[in-house]
Each structure stands twice: as structure tokens, then as C-alpha cells.
Amino acid sequence: MRRLALTLLLPALALLPLAVALGGCDLGGDDDQGTTSAQAAPAPAAQRPSPGISRAELRQHLAALQHIADLGGGNRAAGTPGYDQSADYVAARLEDAGWRVTRQEVPFTYFALNDASLEVGRRELERGRDFQVLSYSASGRAAGPLHELGLGCEAGDFDALESGEIPLVERGECFSRVKARNAEQAGASALVIEEPVTSDRGVPSGTLAAPGIEIPVVVVSTDALGADPAGRRAALTVDATSEKGRTQNVIAETPGGSDDHVVMAGGHLDSVYGGPGIDDNGSGVATLIEAAEAIGTKPPGARVRFGFWAAEELGLLGSRRYVDSLDKADRKRIDAYINLDMVGSPNPVPEVYGDGDPDLAKVLRSAYHGRLGDADVSGASDHTFFQLAGIPVNGLYTGSSEAARGGEARDPCYHLACDTIDNVDMPMLLRMARTTAGALETLSGRRK
């Protein structure tokens, strides 16, 4: 899932209001009584297991994605071998389940960071721990005193910037691309964005969503900047390239079911460049694989179709490509789309999309057999273009950087290297997977 405060949605999303910023494993038995947040109601006494869904099998899928990331330099980002191998793994699992699998090419711009350095107050900072380069940052060098300028969301915020100074702005309120464009137009040679995190876990990855910014843009932790950073000399270097390329969506559907109606679910397959992405969004991927096995090849009514989307972390590119490829009749046949993005957070608050279709929310709540809160995810994930196309959407979500129990983030490893298999709440993931399968069976059965 993409953190809205650090990204720019594509032009079609300008019609949507800005969202409020979203963006230990147990190998015991297959019971679903797991850790939940104090904000969530206690787990009910029983939830009927869906055939073929177990904690052990979910963990096998997460372990496979973790292994792929480990072999691929620590991530499964779009355009990397780790992503391609993730797509191969998913396709093989769905074919094993008897589903029809196709690939859809997705044009995109690949971003490669070759090297970067940052020094603040004569202290050399460590990339990943202390700072990150935003995807699609330009290459370049800059040196000069830092000048604090607030949020940087308005061009006027940079009026006080003097020649040779490097603007330092706060994260949030508007997209990082807006801040970068304002800095560039004000004549800045680089932009530094302060991220309110400590350096113990690192700085989350982020993106400018597309090429076009001509100055280097970095995000630095508050911890690394220290107190009163204004006036301190900074020096940064970024060596990066952006090149045209192609990646792939993986689409799978049941061979059985009505040709006149389709029930869809999906989740993004890629990770950020800064980590393996096992909760975000290996959890959704594992859920879909197990739901496919539980539903089988002959759903009770409507055909069931799953999408494993490419390049979500770069701007919802895969799901947008898919929806754009559908003609009017194809869109009309899709009765529902359920999104799975971050459904195994380690400090979870289970929720449905409060700004999604209310009827689909009822179906999900019924399948969960317990309390599900309401999340405002707006344009933060792959349901967005389905919603813009007039298709009813909803989804399941357990949280990213929002505070939950004990004031801790729902996922303290959101967009970080520590988003590993050990970052997933397995009992919660099991409940989400069973809920997904049950809800899709119900929705399919409505169209017998």
C-alpha cells in the first residue's frame, strides 16, 4: 500500500478527495484466535474454517515470497528479478489450483538507484537507516545550509529561500511531488523532506510516482537531523536512472461459473524497493492463493477472477492498466471487486473500506463473524480505478502506520526492510483469508 503523503496519484485520481494518510509469527495449530488490537472487538468463539485454508499453508506462501526477496537483494519491486519470480510463483500456484492463468503486460518507468550519499552537519548519514531517496528522484549534487520552510505545499512557502540554500520541509498535507515541484520552481538544487521517525527501524521507502522532477529528493529521519537542523550544512549526491520498461499483472479465473457475471478480488504483488513487502502485500497475495484453493474451480454462481497487480507502489499502474483494458461490457459484468492490501499487520485493527460499497461491507462483516471497523483508504490502493469505473468495491485492511494498541503503529515495519515474514500476525491473516473466501463464495452464489 502506498502512503499518500509521500506519493502523487495519477491524473485520473484528481477527481478523488485526498485520503487521510494511511500509507511475531506462530506456527501453532490452525485456530484463528489471534492477536487483535484493543480497538477491535474480541475474536468470536468460532469461525467456520474454509476448506484448504490453514495457517501453515499461508505461511508457506509468505516464506516463498521472503525467499524470493532474499535472493533478489531484499525486495520484490516492479521491474526486478524478485518481482518476476513472485509472478511466476503466483501463476504456478493458481494453475495448480485448476484456475485459468494469463499475464498482462504493464508499461512502466523503472527506477534504479545506483548510489546516494547525504551528510548533515559533517555527519555522514546511512541510507536506509537515516535517509531514503524517493523513487523517480533526479540525479544530482547539492551542498549548502538547510532552510526550514514548513510543509512546502504552496509555491509561496519557498519565497524565503536564498541562493545556495537547501530547502527542508515537513512530510504530509500534500504529495511529495508537489513539494518537489515547488522547490524546483523556486530554484532549489535539491529538496530534503523530514520524516518523523527514529533511525532504529529506518526510513520508509516512498515515490514521486513518475519521472519529471529535475532535482534530487531525499527523505531524512527526524532522529538523523537532530534538534534545530536549520542552518546546518548539508551535502547530498544522488546517482539514479529512470528507464522505460514492462512488467506484468497475473490474472486468474475459475474455469467454471456464469459467463454473464464476474466477482473479482485482487491485491498488489510488488514490494517497495526498501524491503521484501511480506505484510505489504505478501499477506494479500497469500490470502488470494488460499482463497482460490478454497473456492475451487466451480464457484456456486458467478465466475471468480483474481488480479495480482504490478507496480502498485509506483502509482497503481497494474490495476489501472487492467481496468483501462476492459470495454464497457466487460466492466458491466463485474459485480464486485474486493481488495486485499495489508491484511496481516503485527498490531492489527481489522477493518473494511468505510468509503467502499456498503453492501459489500455487509458481506465481508458477515463472513468475518466479528467486529470490523471502517477504514478511509480513498485512493491509496488498487480498488481505486475499479471504483472510478463504476464497479462496486470494498476490501479488508489491518493497518500500516496508524497508531493502535499501546500507541504503537499497526505495522511498525511499513515500507521498511523489517517487513519480513516475522512481521506478520498469522492468526489474523488466517481470519482474513477465511473471510475473503467466504465472502467471495457468497457473492458468487448470488448469481446462480
Residue 51's pLDDT is what?
A: 55
Pull the grid cell for residue 445.
452464489
Nearest to 190, CA basis, from 171, 166, 155? 166
Sign of the CA dihedral 216, 268, 340, 345?
A: negative
4-99+254-445 fold: Aminopeptidase (3.40.630)
Q: How far apart are CA 237 and CA 289, in angstroms?
A: 42
Catalytic residue among 165, 312, 313, 351: 312
Residue 2's pLDDT is what?
A: 57
Residues in the chain predicted with pLDDT less than 70, given as ranges, are: 2-51, 199
For the stretch 247-297, pLDDT in tens is: 999 999 999 999 999 999 999 999 999 999 999 999 999 999 999 999 999
Q: Are 362 and 324 in contact (CB under 8 A)?
A: no
Provide DSSP, 210-236.
Answer: SS---S-EEEEEHHHH-S--TT-EEEE
112-243 fold: Glucose Oxidase; domain 1 (3.50.30)
Asked if 170 is an active-site residue, the reply is no
Residue 50's pLDDT is what?
A: 52
What is each CA distance from 317 to 191, 231, 309, 321, in whole angstroms? 26, 40, 8, 6
96: Cα separation from own chain's centroid: 27
Residue boundaries of the structural domains of the chain = 4-99+254-445, 112-243
Q: How far apart are CA 385 and CA 397, in angstroms?
A: 18
Residue 23's pLDDT is what?
A: 31
Residue 284: which residues within 8 A CB-CB, separation 6 or more? 267, 268, 339, 340, 341, 342, 343
